Structure 1
Amino acid sequence: MYFFISVLAATEVIYMSAIHPRFLASIVSADKRISSMGCFVQMFVAGTSGTAESFLLAFMAIDRDLAINHPLRYSAIMTMTFCIGLAALPWIIAIFMILIESILIANLDFCGPNEIDNFYCDPPPLQALACSDTNIINVVIGLLNIIGCGVPFCIIIPAYVRIIMTITRIKSSVGKQKAFSTCSSHLIVASLFYITIGAVYVKPNGNPSKKYIALMFTIISPTLNPFIYTLKNKDVKEALRASKLLKKNLTFC
């Protein structure tokens, strides 16, 4: 569990680093310009890390499913080699998908206005600036978005159905609480991520209001995730209690 949380944290750091510096600079200064190369680099890095996070959340659901439904076999199945493979696979899939998307958008003809209706370089607003035909590209990118959001979502739903069914069969209330606390943080984080990202990318119709929804999964959600995982974690709570007791026992000499 901690291995996948650390990989998720590293993925979100990369994702936020691609968007936040330019976003904050445009707020602080009057300079809202970005080079065409910088725009495509930002789009590729943000898209790759965001897609990787989508698949990583799905694999984390599989990890929680195995931990709750197959606890005795968990250590034998989730070896370190297998965990590293599950952590690397989202990045391999994401790089392949976003590379196709970036090449398609880069080959468009941009001859009109150069003002992006968003706070970062996102594919739908960039496509809206193109003066060439984007019908085929829209279909291809739409399919890639459905794969990037829909496939992981279809992995998570059955995993949590099995988890909930197992939890309901536990007779002890303490056992139910322990089992639910194992996956509640991941469920909250995944819900925030897929609801907001699905609203923006599953049907990218260029609606200007979607950039406000994008604030949720680009800024708010990555900022809240460390607190969600930390405050719901038993080991962190015990460490905080121990630190409070230690402070109470300290005396000044």
Structure 2
Amino acid sequence: MTRTNNTVVNDFILLGFPSLQKLYPVLFLVFLLIYLFTVTGNILIFLTIILSCTLQIPMFFFLNHLSAMEIVYTSVIMPKMLSTFVTTNKHISFNSCMIQLYLFSSLGASECYLLTVMAYDRFIAICKPLHYSALMTNLKSFQLASGSWVGGFLSPVLPVTLISKLVFCGPNTINYFYCDAQPLLRLSCSRTDLTEAIITILASGLIFTSFLLTVLSYMFIILTILKIPTANGRKKTFSTCASHLIVVIMYYGTITCMYMQPMSSFSLEINKVLSLLYTVVTPMLNPIIYSLRNKEIKKAFFKILR
């Protein structure tokens, strides 16, 4: 089907949560508070690590990059979603939709890479402590963090390009709260088999590879911890990576259900719930997890306040 035979869609309408329309005022307040808490919490962690002399080590350097990713990540989705609760204008232009899709996908991929890097950092610190300072230098940390950003922003170039080349001839209503690949593929009036297959393969490859490397790192970490003779020593060592492990389980649990399968197999309503978990809930919980479980961050934060 060619563009000349169709009325080309120039913008889309994000329906959000039409079944909950009567609750929009409440939803607006709830998600606004979540958004403010997420941004504020991650900014506080970011500033605490920068301003504290005791936190200038690779583990907190990577955590700073994670906080920055979470701030931008949630800001790509939340403002537009909040506007759908309080305004009648639910339109988003085609170009803005593609930009949102690209930024969201890029930051999601970057976070996968960075979580893998953080697992590698903990593997070196726990399994090879005598070589840690030599292997994880400032330059190496910078290269790994930069590689996560660059790799993340290169990963979705092909999928987003393929989606942008699809024909959208109406209807232009997206039963979703942001521009994601699955609802856009369902909306297209051209063949999407090849595009869907490529997106599924690339997404599955990225998620599986990064998750496998993270799991392998933690397998070696756990084996090393089990060799520590005292219970207190095992507990103290494991506590240095417990926060990261919790974030990994939450993040990969949801995106695996979302993307490591054919995009037509799940209903959009189920995907909405899963999307809320990793676009809204996980970024909100990260500051809580890291600030409550990490004594060094809490100590540095209160020291700065004083």
Letter in 1 for 2:189: C
Aligned partner of 2:139 among 75, 81, 89: 81
Is 1:34 the counterpart of 2:34? The answer is no
Is 1:223 the counterpart of 2:284? The answer is yes
Q: Distance in 2 between matches of 1:84 and 1:240?
A: 24
Deviations 1:30-71 (A, max 9, x none): 322111111111111111011100111011100000000011
Aligned runs of 1:1-253 on 2, under 5 Å?
A: 1-203=59-261, 204-205=263-264, 206-208=266-268, 209-238=270-299
Q: Distance in 2 between matches of 1:241 and 1:105?
A: 48
Q: Mind listing any 5+ residue stretches in structure 1 that lack a counterpart?
A: 247-253
Tell me which stretches of 4 or more aligned residues in structure 1 moved more than 3 Å: 236-244
Q: Distance in 2 between matches of 1:87 and 1:103?
A: 26
CA separation of 1:60 and 1:14: change in aligned 2, threshold 3 A: same
Q: Distance in 1 between matches of 2:298 and 2:162?
A: 48
Post-superposition offset of 1:177: 1.1
Q: How many residues end up aligned between the 2 structures?
A: 245
Q: Mind listing any 5+ residue stretches in structure 2 that lack a counterpart?
A: 1-58
Give % identity: 38
Deviations 1:133-175 (A, max 9, x none): 1111111111111122111001011100111111111111221
More relative contact order, 1 or 2 (CA 8 Å, 6+ apart): 2
Q: TM-score of the superposition, structure 2-length normalised?
A: 0.77
CA separation of 1:184 and 1:139: change in aligned 2, threshold 3 A: same
- The alignment yields a C-alpha RMSD, in angstroms, of 1.7
CA separation of 1:243 and 1:15: change in aligned 2, threshold 3 A: closer
Query: Any idea what SS the aligned residue of 1:73 has?
Result: helix
Q: Distance in 1 between matches of 2:97 and 2:282?
A: 23
